[in-house]
Amino acid sequence: MVRFSLILLAALLFSSGVRAQSAFDPMSVAYVLCVTSETKKLALVTPPVAKEVIIERAFGACDDAEAQARKSLAEKGVSGSVIDERIAQTKKFIRLTAPDDVDRFRVNARPR
């Protein structure tokens, strides 16, 4: 989970169009952690849920955290289009990396 969050924050830091803005906005970090936590919870439910469904449900469960991140960035003077781009890039990155995280969560949850 920590690895996932650090990789995501690094991707945000170097994303185009938002370089002047810090990727470490506390509410943005809270949003990423919310999605990561929800993904882990959903990955461990029985019977197993499809990875794509898990990811979309995690986004849905974190709507409030996304709204808070958007509000926080807007209060810092970040334009709406840049906020939309940042959230879209965050979601894109999560969609690319979360399936591997789901597999890892599931494997690590099994007793050895």
User: Domain limits at 54?
Assistant: 2-13+21-107
Q: Report the C-alpha gap between 65 and 33 in whole angstroms.
A: 9
Q: Report the C-alpha gap between 69 and 105 in whole angstroms.
A: 26
Residues 46-62: pLDDT tens digits? 899 999 999 999 999 99
For residue 69, is it within any domain? yes
For residue 80, is it within any domain? yes
For the segment 63-72, the average pLDDT, to the nearest whole number, is: 96
For residue 76, is it within any domain? yes
Which residue has better confidence, 71 or 1? 71
Q: Report the C-alpha gap between 61 and 53 in whole angstroms.
A: 12
pLDDT at 5: 54
For residue 112, is it within any domain? no
Total domain count, the chain: 1
For residue 27, is it within any domain? yes
3-class state of residue 49 by DSSP: coil
Q: Whole-prediction pTM value?
A: 0.77
